[in-house]
Structure 1
Amino acid sequence: MNYFKKILRFAKPYRRYAVLNIISNIFYALFGTLSMLSLFPMLKVLFGNTEPLNTEPIWEGFGKITTYGEQYLNYFVTQKRTEGNDDVLIFMVGLIVTTFLLKNLFGYLAMFFITFLRNGVLKDIRNELYEKTVNLPISFYSEKRKGDTMSRISTDVLEIQHSFLSILELIVREPLMILFTIISMFLISAKLTIFVFIFIPVSGFLISLIGKSLKKQSDNVQREQGYFLSIVEETLSGLKVIKGFNAEKIFAKRFEESTNRFFKFSNSLLNRQNLAGPTSEFLGIATIAVLLWYGGQMVLRDNALDPGLFLVYMGLAYNILTPAKAISKASYSVKKGNAAAERVLEILQTESPLKDKPNAKTKTDFTSEININNISFKYEDDLVLKNFSLNVPKGKSVALVGQSGSGKSTIANLVTRFYDVNQGEISIDSEDIRKLKKSSLRGLMGLVTQDSILFNDTVKNNILIGNENASDEDVVEALKIANAWEFVKDLPNGIDTNIGDAGGKLSGGQKQRLSIARAVLKNPPIMILDEATSALDTESERLVQVALENMMKNRTSIVIAHRLSTIQTADQIVVMSKGEIAEQGTHTELLAKNGVYKKLVEMQSFE
């Protein structure tokens, strides 16, 4: 229940539907009870047990409401017959039909209003969960499976929705039905009702024993579902590798092992859940059996209860069974939903270590320099950067080179604040980037990565991510600067051509040029190029290199390069080794030093 208290905040915008649902449920429970009580007059008329009564009875308070009701019925039937009206039976039938009609009408209205609440809560949780998923730092997902996150957004939220409905019924509808029914039963026979209530705690205890392990079982099911969704996601992403290495059987086995575990967990969960209905119904029938024995004695031996009232009483007692079963099922559903809510709230309540400070500034321009001052950083245990310092003046291009693992790409991750430094500081125009709003910091930067990250959409919409308000002419101009217009204009629908999942319809060089066009359209003062040409063939590299040179004109650039031929014109080249600076200078200066840089150039000249 603790998790549902936290989930309840999502219901606030839809509280009017909750109020209307509660009102409808009150009338549903009231007419549900009256529909059973209305059978009593019918039985009295059928059995001919109505005693003639010509004087209207006097109300003497709730303590004698049963006697008053019975006398008023006798008076009503007597009056009808005195008037020569023999349609008393039709009236009684009409009364029963009306009460059942009103019961079902308000039952429908209750479900009608709760639909808006359920679906509204579902929508808002999913929206907030997606927003949180996007806002959490990249480091959060380095240990998480994508499929598990997908499972939480889809399946777990849906489970909360179903449980949310159940808990509202648990709180309002079914308890009210039981309450009104019990009141009516007390009015008919307090002695018989007290006798019945001796058995209810026993029934409740037996039902609770079944539900104790449901949350744990449900948690296992949801976690396993997240795991096999991850396998599916990884399979689709790496299909070329799987087929290329004939690894289909390896992944099929891994998926089959997961679905087998899911099969066992699901069977265990559903079998426990399915036990709830039969158990509660059997215990209810056992209570009815005791009632028949004890109440039958009151009617036949002691004459303490009218036979018609006893039949109505039995109907009321059975009337409790349906809401009681619903409550037991709802309680199991809540236990399942509790596990889902826990998984959803784990993400929603995760505090981002990179969130903006309360007094974070908005920076809209870049005027002087980027300064990386004596920073150290580690992803886990070992330092990736050690006491690293670098100054990048406005309008200059600085290239970072070195072997894999030397810390080049880490610099890009820290400058864009995908991660925060452990020691030291990074500043832009003497402003520590941790004191700036992340959105304004990244607004000053354009990023082109080694992996061309494109989306299953048109060329135009992929480019517009750089500037959603740009015109078609601006998009075409960006494509020309990126050396991409030459192939885009020949596509079936030009810039409105869908490029497929992850740009799968394009070559590597074409995808990279679209990534550059996206950065060009953004037109930021600072460009960060993270090995933008390392995955390309020589011809594509030449085209992309021209595009990069076009883009870098009059811009401040940090270029992370594997291929040294692409950065020879940089204003400064920094050679990195094991997280530290080994050498720095221009291409000519570094060659003259006859050090690490020259060895790297010579090695690549033979590739």
Structure 2
Amino acid sequence: MNYFRKILRFAGPYKKYAYLNIFFNILYALFSTLSFVALIPVLQVIFSKERVKYAAPVYKGFYELKDYLQSYLNYFISTKVEEHGEFKVLLYMIGMIITIFMLKNLFNYAAMFFITFLRNGVVRDLRNRLFKKVISLPIGQYSDKTKGDTIARLSSDVDEIRNSFLSVLEMIFREPLTILFSLITMIIFSVKLTLFVFVFIPVTGIIISRIGKSLKRSSTKLQKEQGTFLSIVEEALGGLKVIKAFTAEGIFEKKFAESKDRFYQYSNAVMNRQNLASPVSEFLGIIVIGVLLVYGGYLVFVEKTMEPSFFLGYIMLAYNILTPAKAISKASYSVKRGDAAATRVLEVLETENPIEDKVDAIAKNTFDERITIENVSFKYENDYVLKNFSIVVPKGKTIALVGQSGSGKSTIANLVTRFYDVNEGSINIDGIDIRDLKKASLRGLMGMVTQDSILFNDSVRNNILLGKENAAEEEIIEALQIANAYEFVMELPQGLDTNIGDSGNKLSGGQKQRLSIARAVLKNPPIMVLDEATSALDTESERLVQIALENMMKNRTSIVIAHRLSTIQNADTIVVMQKGKIVEQGSHDQLMANKGTYSKLVEMQSFE
């Protein structure tokens, strides 16, 4: 219920729909009870063998309300029958019953109509908040999580909350009020008979709760397994070329089948426990109805303290309690299933973001002097990948970072852009620690081109406009020309408006990389971070991309992480890294003259 309350906080903007739902549910519950009470006078007319003229009764207080109602009903019917005849009175009463049932169902529809806006509104806001949280959390947050699990939380878990928690909102007033109004009427009719109903409700509740103890645990397994098979699907689609090339279809089919088998077993366990609620509650209800029939028959035929029409009306009211009681018992199962889903959703929503703007964070829109990386140490998990690392990048200069894989080059790019925070030391821009800057302001100063060209399933135009949302056509074309991409884009079927497919798979590697560069050029930032931007390209594509990079880096401050050393020979300073430390630095000519690590790396690549 703690999770239920947390989810209900999202209902705040939709309070008016909740109030309207409550109002119409009260009317529904009232008319649901009246629909059965209205049958009593009909039974009186149909089953009465002789008509006795009754005098108008006198009300003597609440404790004699049942006798008063019974006497007044007899008086009313006998008077009307005498005036209009039995058949005509019966027609009037049937018309009244039809009207009551019509109003009852109209109020029921109105209640469901308004709760729909609340349910769907909460789901929309919950998904929006969840997605906002997902993309705001640091990249490191997802290093040990699968994409499929995150997708499952956004899709199936939120759907489960709608189908369980939020469906309970429909009955949170309606079913209890129906039971309440029915019980009040039943107490008026017979206190003795109603005592049996009060015994039945808690006994049913205890039995139902015992049956459902393990439901939440099974539901959690079910939702985790859904994340697993979504991950398998996502990985299989992403690596389809590799799967086909290695004829590994069978391996992935087996993995998916095993996951679906587990999902099948968990689904069966959850559904069978949930399905047990309705028959158990109905069976217990029928037992109580049977007891009421026996005891009520005694009151009618032996004690003669209750008229048959009132007794039949009482039995119908008692049965009227069974339907909402079953709904409540099923709702308790739904809450347990929703509890498991809400746990997973709220786990993301309540995750603290370790890389947040400070309260007094500064907005900086210009880069004037230098980037200073001072005594920085950093580790992703246990082992440090950078140790007391320090460099200065003056404005307008190009600094290249080279070294073997695992030397910490890409980590510098992640730290400068504040995808991660340093463990020790500091990174400053114009003397201001980047942790004191607003993240949007910091990243607004930087453009980034990575080894993997990250493009989206959209048009060329919209992919480039990520750099500057409101850019004019002329600016887009200029960015494409600088990135050496204008010619091939214009040759596409719809030019700028051509859809490039999922991850840009309709383009070659070099074309994708040049679009990534055009996007960075359009942003026009004072600082560029290039993380092995040409390492995945063939020689021809590399030449075209390198020209584009050189065009882009003119008059900009650049940090270049390079695998192919031929691409950074013109850098102002080349920093050679090994196991998170600087082993040498200088210009290309100086380092070659030193005959050190850099010289050996160049010779190895030249030989290759």
* TM-score normalized with structure 1 length: 0.98
Q: Tell me the residue number matched to 2:485.
A: 484
1:50, 1:77 within 8 Å by CA — same for their partners in 2?
no
Partners of 1:48 and 1:466 lie apart in 2 by: 86
Partners of 2:182 and 2:414 lie apart in 1 by: 66
Q: Does 1:372 align with 2:373?
A: yes
What letter corresponds to residue 118 of structure 2 in structure 1? L
1:51, 1:74 within 8 Å by CA — same for their partners in 2?
no
Partners of 2:109 and 2:294 lie apart in 1 by: 37
Partners of 1:556 and 1:433 lie apart in 2 by: 17
What letter corresponds to residue 77 of structure 2 in structure 1? V
Q: How far did residue 55 of structure 1 move?
A: 4.7
Q: For each residue in 1:164-209, what CA deviation from the matched residue of structure 2 results, as whole angstroms up to 9, or x when unmatched?
A: 3333244311000000001111100001111332333322221111
Q: For each residue in 1:445-477, what CA deviation from the matched residue of structure 2 results, as whole angstroms up to 9, or x when unmatched?
A: 000000000000000000000000001111111
Report matched runs for 1:85-164 at 5 Å: 87-164=88-165
Q: Does 1:257 align with 2:261?
A: no
SS at match of 1:268: helix
Deviates more, 1:544-553 or 1:45-54: 45-54
Q: Does 1:357 align with 2:358?
A: yes
What letter corresponds to residue 473 of structure 2 in structure 1? D
Deviates more, 1:126-135 or 1:253-262: 253-262
The change in CA–CA distance for 1:234 and 1:37 in structure 2 (over 3 A counts) is same
Partners of 1:487 and 1:415 lie apart in 2 by: 33
What letter corresponds to residue 10 of structure 1 in structure 2? F
SS at match of 2:164: helix
Report matched runs for 1:229-240 at 5 Å: 229-240=230-241
Q: Tell me the residue number matched to 2:47.
A: 47
Q: Tell me the residue number matched to 1:600.
A: 601
Where do 5+ consecutive residues of structure 1 fail to align? none
Deviates more, 1:292-301 or 1:13-22: 292-301
Q: How far did residue 84 of structure 1 move?
A: 4.3
Q: Tell me the residue number matched to 2:337.
A: 336
Partners of 2:61 and 2:108 lie apart in 1 by: 31
SS at match of 2:225: helix
Partners of 1:289 and 1:216 lie apart in 2 by: 36
Q: Tell me the residue number matched to 1:454.
A: 455
Q: Tell me the residue number matched to 1:401.
A: 402
Q: Does 1:180 align with 2:181?
A: yes
What letter corresponds to residue 59 of structure 1 in structure 2? Y
Q: Tell me the residue number matched to 2:65.
A: 65
Partners of 1:55 and 1:202 lie apart in 2 by: 44
Partners of 1:199 and 1:480 lie apart in 2 by: 80
Partners of 1:112 and 1:193 lie apart in 2 by: 34
Q: Tell me the residue number matched to 1:243.
A: 244
SS at match of 1:364: coil
Q: Tell me the residue number matched to 1:516.
A: 517
Partners of 2:341 and 2:565 lie apart in 1 by: 51
2:14, 2:118 within 8 Å by CA — same for their partners in 1?
yes
2:28, 2:108 within 8 Å by CA — same for their partners in 1?
yes
Partners of 2:52 and 2:115 lie apart in 1 by: 48
What letter corresponds to residue 299 of structure 2 in structure 1? M
Q: Tell me the residue number matched to 2:20.
A: 20
Q: Tell me the residue number matched to 1:29.
A: 29
SS at match of 2:448: strand
Partners of 1:479 and 1:53 lie apart in 2 by: 100
Q: Tell me the residue number matched to 2:543.
A: 542
SS at match of 2:173: helix
SS at match of 1:374: strand
Q: How far did residue 49 of structure 1 move?
A: 6.2
Partners of 1:29 and 1:59 lie apart in 2 by: 27
Q: For each residue in 1:308-354, what CA deviation from the matched residue of structure 2 results, as whole angstroms up to 9, or x when unmatched?
A: 11111110111110000000001100100000000000000000110
Q: Tell me the residue number matched to 2:304.
A: 303
1:53, 1:71 within 8 Å by CA — same for their partners in 2?
no
Q: Tell me the residue number matched to 2:411.
A: 410
Q: Tell me the residue number matched to 1:525.
A: 526
Q: How far did residue 239 of structure 1 move?
A: 1.0
Q: Tell me the residue number matched to 2:589.
A: 588
Partners of 1:76 and 1:300 lie apart in 2 by: 24
Q: Tell me the residue number matched to 2:391.
A: 390
Q: How far did residue 268 of structure 1 move?
A: 0.7
Partners of 1:505 and 1:169 lie apart in 2 by: 48
Partners of 1:541 and 1:8 lie apart in 2 by: 55
Partners of 1:54 and 1:314 lie apart in 2 by: 26
Q: Tell me the residue number matched to 1:507.
A: 508
Q: How far did residue 366 of structure 1 move?
A: 0.5
Q: Tell me the residue number matched to 1:472.
A: 473
What letter corresponds to residue 356 of structure 2 in structure 1? K
2:41, 2:77 within 8 Å by CA — same for their partners in 1?
no
Q: Tell me the residue number matched to 1:2.
A: 2
Q: For each residue in 1:74-124, what CA deviation from the matched residue of structure 2 results, as whole angstroms up to 9, or x when unmatched?
A: 332333344345511111111111111111111111110110000000000
2:398, 2:571 within 8 Å by CA — same for their partners in 1?
yes
SS at match of 1:528: strand
Q: How far did residue 54 of structure 1 move?
A: 6.3
Deviates more, 1:148-157 or 1:43-52: 43-52
The change in CA–CA distance for 1:81 and 1:274 in structure 2 (over 3 A counts) is closer
SS at match of 1:573: strand
Deviates more, 1:553-562 or 1:83-92: 83-92
Q: Does 1:435 align with 2:436?
A: yes
Deviates more, 1:54-63 or 1:498-507: 54-63
2:484, 2:544 within 8 Å by CA — same for their partners in 1?
yes
Partners of 2:115 and 2:36 lie apart in 1 by: 26
SS at match of 1:599: helix
Partners of 1:523 and 1:70 lie apart in 2 by: 87
Q: Tell me the residue number matched to 1:556.
A: 557
SS at match of 1:510: helix
Q: Tell me the residue number matched to 1:278.
A: 279
Deviates more, 1:167-176 or 1:92-101: 167-176
Q: Does 1:315 align with 2:316?
A: yes
Partners of 1:188 and 1:570 lie apart in 2 by: 95
Partners of 1:156 and 1:208 lie apart in 2 by: 23
1:118, 1:164 within 8 Å by CA — same for their partners in 2?
no
SS at match of 1:301: helix
Q: How far did residue 517 of structure 1 move?
A: 0.1
SS at match of 2:303: coil
Partners of 1:245 and 1:82 lie apart in 2 by: 94
Q: Tell me the residue number matched to 1:196.
A: 197
Deviates more, 1:339-348 or 1:231-240: 231-240
* TM-score normalized with structure 2 length: 0.98
Identical columns (%): 67
Partners of 2:197 and 2:424 lie apart in 1 by: 72
2:165, 2:334 within 8 Å by CA — same for their partners in 1?
no
Partners of 1:196 and 1:529 lie apart in 2 by: 75
1:456, 1:500 within 8 Å by CA — same for their partners in 2?
yes
1:147, 1:228 within 8 Å by CA — same for their partners in 2?
yes
4+ residue runs over 6 A deviation: none
Partners of 2:552 and 2:60 lie apart in 1 by: 94
Deviates more, 1:59-68 or 1:138-147: 59-68
Partners of 1:169 and 1:112 lie apart in 2 by: 10
2:164, 2:335 within 8 Å by CA — same for their partners in 1?
yes
Q: Tell me the residue number matched to 2:217.
A: 216
1:377, 1:421 within 8 Å by CA — same for their partners in 2?
yes
Deviates more, 1:70-79 or 1:293-302: 70-79
Between Structure 1 and Structure 2, how many residues are aligned? 607
The change in CA–CA distance for 1:383 and 1:71 in structure 2 (over 3 A counts) is same
